[in-house]
Structure 1
Amino acid sequence: MRVTLERSNLLKSLNHVHRVVERRNTIPILSNVLLKADGASVEMKATDLDLEITEATAAMVEQAGATTVPAHLLYEIVRKLSDGSEVLLATNPDGTSMTVAAGRSKFSLQCLPEADFPDLTAGSFTHTFQLPAQDLKMLIDRTQFAISTEETRYYLNGIYMHTIEGDAGLKLRTVATDGHRLARADLEAPSGSEGMPGIIIPRKTVGELQKLVDDPDLKVRLEVSDAKIRFTIGSVIMTSKLIDGTFPDYQRVIPTGNDKELTVDCQSFAQAVDRVSTISSERGRAVKLALEAGQLTLTVNNPDSGSATEELAVGYDFDPLEIGFNAKYLLDITNQLSGSDAVFLLADPGSPTLVRDTAGDDALYVLMPMRV
């Protein structure tokens, strides 16, 4: 194999694929990126056996061929080469090493044979549909913060994506929960998604996807089966295994009888929560909300360091109520709201609270209270 590439093109593609590769691997080939030169491009592929990213980039191919080299090492070398340089990648005749040369810099990297590189893309997909990148980004951004990190409840370690019949027709919905809070986002179901299986997209895949859908002009093609999902975003193809588990019946925890409505300026509320929680202990970040007509008092008590209170003028016209929440969870939710006001629908100090965005009904949040 002998190819020449623009450093910027090579770096961009390596940046997309090398992130999948775990720093520590018991299987040596999984530390490597597969480089396949053919025609007028080089295809790069990396995998951790659950997630695979492929991207092709334009290149001047003098001699076609394929090999695998350490992914993080190649990325660091290319990152440190001078901007605007041309990079030569050439394997030696017996294929055991590859030369990386640019300007006066020259590196030699150990290779492992292409035949040893695992392939994740086998199998067929039952449903295919397209979404604008900004729509997919909205579905992910509004829910990903609520993904559980508790490995024992592995079926909560991802975003549940499914279609559901709503008042205004079929919706494509994403849901995430960690048992303390729940986030749900909807949009009109795209053509082709009808009847798709409910799937759980793993946390690592969601994280990589967030980085790839930052261009609002792109269209994303999704292919879904019971066990895998594939995203095609521009020149990047990402294939991932799905979490093999049953997502709980989340509809049961969404309260329907919460009749006490609190309307508060989102920015003022977030800043006030952030200020008073400065004094809270890291372990129990509880903030107490004391409500009475037209006024909200935020209080934090920390036996080790003191207390803090702040008052806010709010829209509230019901019986006085005191309820506690985790400050970080409140901030996570208010960060996702796009409207100027947040609407809290409350019942009593021990029941889950519903949070809605005044900008629209495409997102909904449920928050469990804390004892304060």
Structure 2
Amino acid sequence: MKVSIERAQLLKAMSRAQGVVERKNTIPILANVLVEAEGSTVSLRATDLDIEVIERLPAMVEQAGATTVAAHLLFEIVRKLPEGAQLQLISDTASGRLDVIAGRSRFSLATLPREDFPVMASSEYQVSYAAPVPALRRIFDKSQFAVSTEETRYYLNGVYLHVAEGAEGKVLRAVATDGHRLARIDMPLPDGAEGAPGVIVPRKTVGELRKLLENDDAELTISVSETKIRFSVDALVLTSKVIDGAFPDYSRVIPTANNRKMEVDAKEFAKAVDRVATVSQERSRAVKLALDHDRLALSVNSPEAGSAADELTVAYDDEALEIGFNARYLLEIAGQIDRENAVFMFADAGAPTLVREGEDLSAVYVVMPMRV
């Protein structure tokens, strides 16, 4: 194999490929990226057996061929080469080496045979549909913070993507929860998506997908089966297994009867929570919210560090209420709110609280209180 390729293109593709590859591998070939040259393109393929990413790049192919090389190593080499460099990749099956040449820099890297590289089995997808990149990016961005990292509840280790009934008809919905907070985000249902099965997209896949959703004008196609989901954007294809489990009935934990309403400037609220939480030795420490007529008092008491208090003017016209929350959870939810005002709907000090962005019902958050 002998190809010439631009550094910038290879760097971007290798950045995505090495994100999929696990740094610690018991199977040596899984640390590698498969480089295949044919016609006028070079394709890079990386996998951890659960996720596979394939990207095709334009290149000058003098000699077709394929090899596999350590993904993180190739990425670091390309990253450190000068901007604007033209790279040559030359592999020799006899020596088992891949030469990377750019100007006067030359690297000779160990390779493994392409025949050893695992390829994810193809799947029969039940439904394929096109989705606008900005809308898809929004539903994953706003929900992924609530994904659980607790491995024992594996069915919560991802974002549940499914077709649901929204306020104004059917929607494509993303839901994530870890039992302490929940995010439910809707987007208009794309044409052709109606029969799509509900799937749990793993946390790692959501992180890698986010790197693909950069170009708002790109054409994105989603293909879904009971066991896999595939995202195709331009010359890039990300295929992932989905989590084999049943996502809980999240609608049961979304309160519908909370009638104590507080409206607050989302950015000012986040700053005040962050200020008082400074004295907490742990981010999980509770921050107490004390509500009275159009006034919110925030306070934190830490036996080791001391105490803090702050106050905000809010729109609240109900009975006085004191309620505690994990400061980090409040900050993460406030960070998702794009509109100026956040609306908190309370029931009492022991019940889940509903948070939304103004009157917009397409993004709803639930947070469990803490004892203070």
Q: TM-score, normalised by structure 1?
A: 0.98
Which residue is 1:90 aligned to?
90
Aligned partners of 1:311 and 1:261: how far apart in 2?
18
> Following TM superposition, by how much is the alpha carbon of 1:17 offset from its aligned partner in structure 2, in angstroms?
1.1
Alignment of 1:327-342 (within 5 A): 327-342=327-342
Which residue is 2:187 aligned to?
187
**What CA deviation, in whole Å up to 9, does each residue of 1:36-77 have, x standing for no partner?**
100001000000000011101111111111111111111111
Report if aligned partners of 2:167, 2:361 keep a CA contact under 8 Å in 1: no
Alignment of 1:206-225 (within 5 A): 206-225=206-225
Give the match's secondary structure for 1:57. strand
Aligned partners of 1:359 and 1:33: how far apart in 2?
47
Greater CA drift, 78-87 or 295-304: 78-87
Counting aligned pairs with the same residue, the percent is 55
Aligned partners of 1:307 and 1:276: how far apart in 2?
8
Aligned partners of 1:213 and 1:7: how far apart in 2?
22
**What CA deviation, in whole Å up to 9, does each residue of 1:75-103 have, x standing for no partner?**
11111112222111111252611111111
Report if aligned partners of 1:181, 1:366 keep a CA contact under 8 Å in 2: yes
**Is 1:32 aligned to residue 32 of structure 2?**
yes
Aligned partners of 1:80 and 1:121: how far apart in 2?
35
> Following TM superposition, by how much is the alpha carbon of 1:244 offset from its aligned partner in structure 2, in angstroms?
0.3
Equivalent AA in structure 2 for residue 43 of structure 1: S
Which residue is 2:197 aligned to?
197
Aligned partners of 1:314 and 1:10: how far apart in 2?
51
Aligned residues: 372
Report if aligned partners of 2:288, 2:298 keep a CA contact under 8 Å in 1: yes
Aligned partners of 2:139 and 2:328: how far apart in 1?
21
Aligned partners of 1:173 and 1:136: how far apart in 2?
10
Alignment of 1:160-179 (within 5 A): 160-179=160-179
Structure 2 unaligned regions, length at least 5: none
Which residue is 1:45 aligned to?
45
Report if aligned partners of 2:5, 2:87 keep a CA contact under 8 Å in 1: yes
Aligned partners of 1:256 and 1:306: how far apart in 2?
38
Equivalent AA in structure 1 for residue 53 of structure 2: I
Which residue is 1:371 aligned to?
371
> Following TM superposition, by how much is the alpha carbon of 1:362 offset from its aligned partner in structure 2, in angstroms?
1.1
Report if aligned partners of 1:81, 1:102 keep a CA contact under 8 Å in 2: yes
Give the match's secondary structure for 1:123. coil
Equivalent AA in structure 1 for residue 145 of structure 2: F
Equivalent AA in structure 2 for residue 31 of structure 1: A
Give the match's secondary structure for 1:210. helix
**Is 1:16 aligned to residue 16 of structure 2?**
yes
Give the match's secondary structure for 1:171. strand
Which residue is 1:315 aligned to?
315
Aligned partners of 2:48 and 2:259: how far apart in 1?
48
Structure 1 unaligned regions, length at least 5: none
Which residue is 1:114 aligned to?
114
> Following TM superposition, by how much is the alpha carbon of 1:121 offset from its aligned partner in structure 2, in angstroms?
4.3
Aligned partners of 2:371 and 2:284: how far apart in 1?
10
Which residue is 2:281 aligned to?
281
Q: RMSD of the TM alignment (CA)?
A: 1.1
Give the match's secondary structure for 1:278. helix
Aligned partners of 1:165 and 1:147: how far apart in 2?
22
Aligned partners of 2:107 and 2:283: how far apart in 1?
48
